[in-house]
Structure 1
Amino acid sequence: MLSPDDVFAAAQDEIAYAYERMPFFRRHMEDAGVRPGDIGRPGDLPRIPPTDKTWYRKGFPGGVLTEGVTLSDPRLRHLSSSGTADERLLTVEWNALWVKRCLDACKVHPGIRRGLRAERHCYYIPASCAEASCAGPAAHAPHANPESAQDRGASASAAHAPHANPESAQDRGASASAAHAPHANPESAQDRGASAPADAGRPRPVAGGLMLPAFHDLLATDERMVDESLRALERFRPSLYMVSPAHLAFLARRMSERGFHPPAAPILATYSLCGILARRQILAAFPAETAFSEVVGMSELGFLAAECPRGGLHLNSEAFLCELRTGGRAAEPGELAELVVTTIDGGCSPHVRYRTGDAYRLVAKPCPCGHGSPLVRMEGRIRNLLMRKGRAVLTPRELDETVGDCDWLRLYKMEQTGEEAFSFSYIPAEGRADRAPELAQRLKERLGTDVRLSLRSVEYLPAARSGKFMECESRVAAEGLRL
């Protein structure tokens, strides 16, 4: 594991590398009156203004790729964000480096890392992520070695060379289609009259893996697609499930209804926050010894944090210099802060002090697992914080903990529609007593007794436009909100 001094030294080299070879970043630093030599200690990093998706979206490709890189290079991985909040961000990275970042993050969970390396993955994810090739560590060029400067299309100093070869993984780059068949289920949109050809939306092989189909709007996924997915799972027997937690929870509920026992394999849950209900529903359908890890990633960067076997979430300090910032300063343990990252591996599109838009809290105590990487709580997207009077009163993670493991709920969604207006919609579990009044009391204790809070039981909840299912959304926390 790299020491903090090693990580900072690699970040210094990355800053110099980006300044020399990436036009956008050179202008960015010059506009701030800063040169690479001015960054002599960690406290100097804030002299470089943060970057974000806006810069990379505007500058792609010429301004944000290092000189000499061509988009036709077969060693590149072409990536796109899911477009949950705004238009998709297009970017590329040397595939071998991107894969290595993901594997580095999973060093905290050996069972998950072994599953990643086995290259027999089952994906059940939002269709937009499948189409965007942002699903996970798949290799477009299995022969590429990230320690080779030639593979990066440019010479690089030893400080930019990664510290281990990436184990190869096969490319999944296929899109997942979805279709309706005339079979109803209690969570589907079948009754809304949608239809599509019956031969569409089948499980599909994707080099080295299996992509299970789902409707873009998750709860519209029909029973035929579910049945075909379960049959495909029995045949395929994966080494790893790489999934959206909402998607696998949906499938796990179907498994339990059918008495289906899925093949045992570790579960890597990513793409969105994994809540208590989803985790319980998933693990109830799988063997008791199933390894489970929540992983935080971004399509343009790879995996940023991963959960260890003891349940602690660890930042990927092997692949990134990580800062937690609030109010223009480094955050103290327990403070709500934004994760800002700097790549340290000399890729074709360096990211320096890149705002992730994700809220975290640093945990002061060491993790019982013994791993030395920073221990954090991921609180959710900043744009989804529940706000009152300019401050966050509940994060998506805190909301989930307030709801708790309610066995009378299948699924829920909280929406903040105004400064003091909140709407909580839920799909109840069959055969369970509705305890909404008790939940309303708990929510008001956190939000404030004077808020307007409505709770309603529904048969259907929509997914976001990206296909992700978001349990917590706010119209008050603006997209540009900073902590």
Structure 2
Amino acid sequence: MLINLLQFDRFIQELEYAFERVPFYSKHLAAAGLTPDDIIEPEDIQRIPPTEKKDYRRNFPAGVLAAGYKLSDEGLVKSQSSGTSGERLITYELGMLLMDRALTCTGIHPAVEAAFAATPRKICRFAAPNCSDVECANPNSSMQDRMLSDGTLVLPVYHDLLTTPEFMLDRALEEICLYQPNLYYVDPTHFALLMRHAIKRGIRVPQAPLVATYTAITPLNRKQILDAFASFGYTGTVFSALVSSSEMGWLALDCPHGQLHLNSDCYLTELLSGDRITTPGEVGELLISSLDNGAVPHIRYRTGDTFVLKPQDCPCGLPHPAVDWAGRVSEQLSTTEYPHIHPYQIHQAIGAPDWLDLYQFTQLSADKSCLLLIVNQHYQAVKLLDILAPLQQLLGKQHEIEHQLVGYIATERSGKFQCVRAMTDKY
């Protein structure tokens, strides 16, 4: 990805700000024998060692909070990651900066922008309780208990998704119909389950743009959600994937063409494979640098998410880099025959068969994996070949794929449902 002069100038200002006002960054650059004056050309950015969660955890709060701020400041918003990668993190940032980053990112999709900026803003959120700022796992909580100050109604759900009782799912659907949201902000696996329940109950929820985030958007959960809205009689339902982080906010969003674009207006973005910038078509981890002189600046921060830069421009004409999401770094797979397999390849191999409600693929070793399947009334044993054959081709002829039909699959400790899990020794 090319870095234009405006981005580079903003990055240098952020680097100087962090170097002068954040103790961790003055030490971090000094350890590398650098000062901001050494970063003269965009290529010099790569001389700065990347940062990651553990740096912020070890130095929190005094070492990473910019001079002039304290945790009790009214304008600061506390964010706590759900621990998807096994590492929870508490951080703070100016609420107005997080909102500005989100609003800027919505510009990638006009329908999402209009809904997000609506007055009054009415958002329904359905995701793991650990991702919420209120206790939504309490079956006795009311709508008022779960209403946030920004107009977001957090819908009720248990920490372990598939143990959520039907009366709570009924209540979630009832609350959606009562609240009449102008935007859904959802975990796609959670919301797909809720939409399957809506069809079962014959309940028609209101149409509104959907922003899907928190966990992987798969061909299966996307199809289940869109098919549900089609069954309600709706056409043209907006479904936009969002990549966000608790630390930084909105990082990437789908445009109206269904293409994911990085939020390069708010961040300097890099895709790295090892220590080198990737080429188009190659998988790389996203590194982001903040550009807005916030309370907790981030420089070359490893997000843990991997993407593939598209070799061609998107028809939408946006200048933001077009990318395909490839999965979390912690979820990358490696078999005896094929050492580099990214999670989205597993999702693509499984696809979206109408007989499948939910699945979880777990790699047990370099030579063996387990596939758990929750099927519905359309299932026939012969149809298994439709997903097992592509998986076998992807993983290698000698790779053993054990499959089981089950009625329950547990979520992770974070409350999120992980459809693809790497070998346990990589956790």
Task: Name the TM-score, length of structure 2 as normaliser.
Answer: 0.94
Per-residue CA deviation, residues 364-418 of structure 1 (Å, 9 max, x unaligned), is 1010111111000110101111112596442111111111121111000000111
Give matches, 1:98-113, under 5 Å.
98-113=98-113
Pair 388,26 (structure 1): closer, same or farther in 2 beyond 3 Å: same
Aligned to 1:76: 76
- Distance in structure 1 (CA, Å) of the matches to 2:273 and 2:167: 48
1:204 equivalent to 2:206? Answer no
- Distance in structure 2 (CA, Å) of the matches to 1:476 and 1:391: 18
1:293 equivalent to 2:216? Answer no
Aligned to 1:325: 272
Pair 3,120 (structure 1): closer, same or farther in 2 beyond 3 Å: farther
Aligned to 2:195: 252
- Distance in structure 2 (CA, Å) of the matches to 1:390 and 1:79: 41
Per-residue CA deviation, residues 219-261 of structure 1 (Å, 9 max, x unaligned), is 1111110111111111100010000001110100001112211
- Distance in structure 2 (CA, Å) of the matches to 1:13 and 1:200: 46
The two structures, once aligned, show a CA RMSD in angstroms of 1.7
Aligned to 2:129: 127
Aligned to 1:347: 294
| Contact 1:338–1:357 under 8 Å retained in 2 | yes
Q: 2:167 aligns with which of 197, 203, 224?
A: 224
Structure 1 residue 27 displacement after superposition: 0.2
Aligned to 1:52: 52
Aligned to 1:18: 18
Per-residue CA deviation, residues 24-43 of structure 1 (Å, 9 max, x unaligned), is 01100000001001111110
Q: 1:461 aligns with which of 405, 409, 414?
A: 409
| Contact 2:351–2:387 under 8 Å retained in 1 | no
| Contact 2:335–2:399 under 8 Å retained in 1 | no
**What is the SS of the residue equivalent to 2:101?**
helix
**What is the SS of the residue equivalent to 1:293?**
strand
Pair 22,390 (structure 1): closer, same or farther in 2 beyond 3 Å: farther
1:175 equivalent to 2:135? Answer yes
Pair 201,220 (structure 1): closer, same or farther in 2 beyond 3 Å: farther
Aligned to 2:34: 34
Q: 1:406 aligns with which of 340, 353, 369?
A: 353
Structure 1 residue 476 displacement after superposition: 5.5
Per-residue CA deviation, residues 100-152 of structure 1 (Å, 9 max, x unaligned), is 11111121101011111122111101100104xxxxxxxxxxxxxxxxxxxxx
Counterpart code for 2:281: G
| Contact 1:244–1:270 under 8 Å retained in 2 | yes
| Contact 2:338–2:395 under 8 Å retained in 1 | no
| Contact 1:362–1:377 under 8 Å retained in 2 | yes
Aligned to 2:419: 471
Counterpart code for 1:238: P
* Consecutive unaligned residues in structure 2, runs of 5 or more: none
Per-residue CA deviation, residues 17-73 of structure 1 (Å, 9 max, x unaligned), is 000000001100000001001111110011110000000011111000101211111
- Distance in structure 2 (CA, Å) of the matches to 1:117 and 1:477: 44
**Which runs of at least 4 in structure 1 moved beyond 6 Å after TM superposition?**
none
Worse-superposed segment, 261-270 or 284-293: 284-293
Aligned to 1:276: 219
- Distance in structure 2 (CA, Å) of the matches to 1:178 and 1:278: 26
| Contact 1:385–1:392 under 8 Å retained in 2 | no
Structure 1 residue 3 displacement after superposition: 7.8
**What is the SS of the residue equivalent to 2:96?**
helix
| Contact 2:373–2:405 under 8 Å retained in 1 | yes
Give identity over the alignment, percent: 37
Pair 332,477 (structure 1): closer, same or farther in 2 beyond 3 Å: farther
**What is the SS of the residue equivalent to 1:235?**
helix
| Contact 1:387–1:476 under 8 Å retained in 2 | no
| Contact 1:382–1:477 under 8 Å retained in 2 | no
Aligned to 1:315: 262
- Distance in structure 2 (CA, Å) of the matches to 1:357 and 1:391: 22
Aligned to 1:240: 183
Pair 457,393 (structure 1): closer, same or farther in 2 beyond 3 Å: farther
**What is the SS of the residue equivalent to 2:7?**
helix
Structure 1 residue 283 displacement after superposition: 1.0
- Distance in structure 2 (CA, Å) of the matches to 1:20 and 1:386: 41
| Contact 1:426–1:458 under 8 Å retained in 2 | yes
| Contact 2:354–2:378 under 8 Å retained in 1 | no
Counterpart code for 1:439: I
Worse-superposed segment, 429-438 or 287-296: 429-438
**What is the SS of the residue equivalent to 1:376?**
strand
| Contact 2:290–2:297 under 8 Å retained in 1 | yes
Pair 324,240 (structure 1): closer, same or farther in 2 beyond 3 Å: same
Per-residue CA deviation, residues 186-213 of structure 1 (Å, 9 max, x unaligned), is xxxxxxxxxxxxx358783223221101
* Consecutive unaligned residues in structure 1, runs of 5 or more: 132-173, 180-198
Per-residue CA deviation, residues 330-385 of structure 1 (Å, 9 max, x unaligned), is 10001111111100011011100001111111001010111111000110101111
**What is the SS of the residue equivalent to 2:162?**
helix
Pair 346,398 (structure 1): closer, same or farther in 2 beyond 3 Å: same
Aligned to 2:377: 430
